[in-house]
Amino acid sequence: MELSSGQVGTITVVRCRGRLVHGDESENFRHVVKSLIQTNPRVLLNLAEVSYVDSGGLGVLFALRTSAQSAGGHLVLASPSQRLLDLLNTTRLITVFDVCDSEEAGIRCFH
């Protein structure tokens, strides 16, 4: 998983590329994003270039959402694949996450 991050106003935007699967990749992803949440709990994950998410990756996303909320912030998922949307719907986690079609729409979720 490759990550790049930047600020858009008061929001930390994390652009993700690769697979979010159980194991070292997802642990590294969790560690990096959790560190960003500790600095700024308003985080948007741009998932446009994430090719695959398994149940372990979904668990990491949920844990990061919890970390952001505990820090008084918010986590938004932007541009998820159809497969991830299907997974969120099947697990009913779609009701837990704020999911937006694009990074721009995700940024508007914070305002």
Read off the pLDDT band of 25 (50, 70, 90).
confident
Interval 37-46: pLDDT, tens: 999 999 999 9
Q: How confident is the model at residue 3 (pLDDT cuts 50, 70, 90)?
A: very high
- Give me the long-range contacts of 63-68 (CB less than 8 A, separation at least 24): 63/30, 64/30, 64/33, 64/34, 64/37, 65/96, 65/97, 67/34, 67/37, 67/41, 68/37, 68/41, 68/42, 68/43
pTM over 0.85: yes
Segment 42-53 mean pLDDT: 97
Number of domains in the chain: 1
* Residue ranges making up the domain that contains 103: 2-109
Average pLDDT over residues 73-87: 96
Rounded average pLDDT over 68-77? 97
Strands 11-20 and 42-53: parallel
Q: Output the average pLDDT for the chain.
A: 95
CATH number of the domain bearing residue 15: 3.30.750.24
